[in-house]
Chains A and B, each alone.
Chain A
């Protein structure tokens, strides 16, 4: 072991203090009542409350729909951007990332305003559109990177061996690009479940997502219940991360 490995020590201490300890505190607060005694009541409250459960189910549903939408729209875009014959300029790629530099809340407000002007009722449809609009770059970029890194000779070899373009795509390009798709899914799915401001703006407060209830509870000093809701989310993050790892390993 060489001495320079010690250079990571400050960061290690930082991570324990500002990442590990805070996550443990979520678990601790979730399992305590207001006076610090152990209880399962907070979690029990979530699993028996019809409103929170339906908000939770709706958030998962919206997140799945948004993720699928982002893949369907983003994959072809990433494919075109990564194909040298179809896109020669690196500037086009930059143009897709550029909107992220403009404050997301401001863009969302403008999107909502555009819908209102066009006479579209704010609701689930506009929510999905706006979410997809906000998260699309996060799907395009990892897929684009993966396709760009890919060894082109596999696809060429398949073509030389007589595969049709459709077969090349289905049997070579698509499987090889899956790690990119999976990191895109990670960057879109959980953040969608947990957004709060964006969903409020896009539906004029008509639709609440899970993030909004967490925020409301924390802001109204219901820390223990807020922590319990966060714990539910942490468990889902853990599950999706493990699933994602397995999928990424397989491909």
Chain B
């Protein structure tokens, strides 16, 4: 038993070391001034300074890419959360063929690889003569985010007492009040996890954005990195930026986890 536990630990740690090697690599080389990734020219925090003072060669490009990424992710996941929650309530109250149809349609964006979602939406916007830019990217992101909101909210609906909403109506609440005061609080955990999932998928998306951003020069972090890498030579300030983002995410996740385990200890 001891040997087995030890072997299991070693296996997990080996995997984690390999998984984190590139990230640690980026973090280490964020503390040197060299342009290329694997080049060490002595310790320096110059890149961090450049990042915060905005004094870098292509500063407007990188900073606006970060801004776009956040704005698009925020807008898309907010709309997806509202649309998906309403849809989940609707689907939950459906039966038979209508429910099966909607569930099937909801599955399609999750099954389709990014490139198919991207190409198909690109053709849609070309076909409808919609000029591509912020709006089309946000619409595209809503398309692949909403299914995950629906999937996260549905289980919360089956957990709640179906009569509470009717009871609120009987007691004189308007449907809007009943929605806001009864349904939303009960569904909140599902809505939050749907929102977080949408947000992270939107942040990380490359292919769908690539096909729907048009030719107005709209860049998110992903498309910026792609263009940068193809030109040969990444903007060196990407290294400190990625390091900071990683530490932020790590802190948030650890915080959530510690809080959760404390809560479950209390129960």
Are A114 and B229 in contact, CB atoms less than 8 angstroms apart? no
Binary interface encoding of chain A residues 209-236 relative to chain B, with 1 for a CB under 8 A from any of its CBs, else 0 = 0010011001000010011001001100
Interface string of B7-34 (1 = CB under 8 A from A): 0110110011011111101100000000
Query: Which residues of the partner chain A approach B22 to less than 8 Å between Cβ atoms?
Result: 107-108, 110-111, 114, 133
Shortest distance from the beta carbon of A35 to any chain B beta carbon, whole Å: 15
For B207, the chain A residues whose CB sits under 8 A away are 194, 196-197, 211
What is the CA–CA distance of A95 and B23 in the complex, to the nearest angstrom? 13
| CB within 8 Å for A2 and B21 given contacts A29-B123, A102-B245, A106-B242 | no
Question: 22 pairs across A/B with beta carbons < 8 Å?
Answer: A7-B87, A8-B89, A8-B91, A11-B83, A12-B87, A18-B124, A20-B105, A20-B108, A25-B124, A83-B8, A86-B8, A94-B253, A101-B245, A101-B249, A103-B242, A106-B26, A106-B225, A113-B38, A190-B113, A194-B113, A237-B113, A241-B111
Q: Which residue of A lies closest to B85 (CB)?
A: A7
| Closest 3 A/B residue pairs (Cβ) | A8-B90, A22-B120, A11-B87
A100 at the interface (CB under 8 A from B): yes
Q: Which of A72-80, A156-164, A167-175 contacts B (4 or more CB under 8 A)?
A: A72-80
Interface range on chain B (Cβ under 8 Å from partner): 35 or more
B231 interfacial contact with A, CB 8 Å:
no
A-chain residues with CB within 8 Å of residue B95 when the two chains form the complex: 1
How far does the alpha carbon of A106 sit from the alpha carbon of B26 in the complex, in Å? 9
**What residues make up the interface of A, taking CB atoms closer than 8 Å to B?**
1-2, 4-12, 14-23, 25-26, 29, 73, 76-77, 80-81, 83, 85-87, 90-92, 94-96, 98-111, 113-114, 116-117, 133, 136, 186, 190-191, 193-197, 201, 211, 214-215, 218, 223, 226-227, 230, 233-234, 237, 241
* New A-B contacts (12) at CB < 8 Å, excluding given A11-B150, A102-B246, A104-B222: A4-B90, A7-B87, A11-B86, A83-B8, A91-B257, A96-B16, A98-B250, A102-B242, A103-B242, A113-B25, A114-B38, A237-B116
- Are B123 and A98 neighbours in the complex by a CB distance under 8 Å? no
B109 touches A19 (CB 8 A): yes
B221 within 8 A of A: yes
Q: Does B151 contact A (CB under 8 A)?
A: no
Complex Cα–Cα for A96 and B257 (A): 14
Complex: A15 Cα to B146 Cα, angstroms? 10
Complex Cα distance, B204 from A196, in Å, reads: 15
In the complex, what's the smallest C-beta–C-beta distance from B55 to chain A, in angstroms?
22
Q: Chain B interface secondary structure, helix, strand, loop or mixed?
A: helix
- What A residues does B126 contact at CB under 8 A? 223
B135 interface contact, C-beta 8 A: no
Closest to A14 in B: B83
- Say whether B15 contacts A73, CB under 8 Å: yes
A21-B124, A85-B5, A102-B246 are known contacts. Are A95 and B119 too (CB-CB below 8 A)?
A: no
A11 to B122 CA separation, bound complex (whole angstroms): 20
Q: Are A214 and B119 in contact (CB under 8 A)?
A: yes
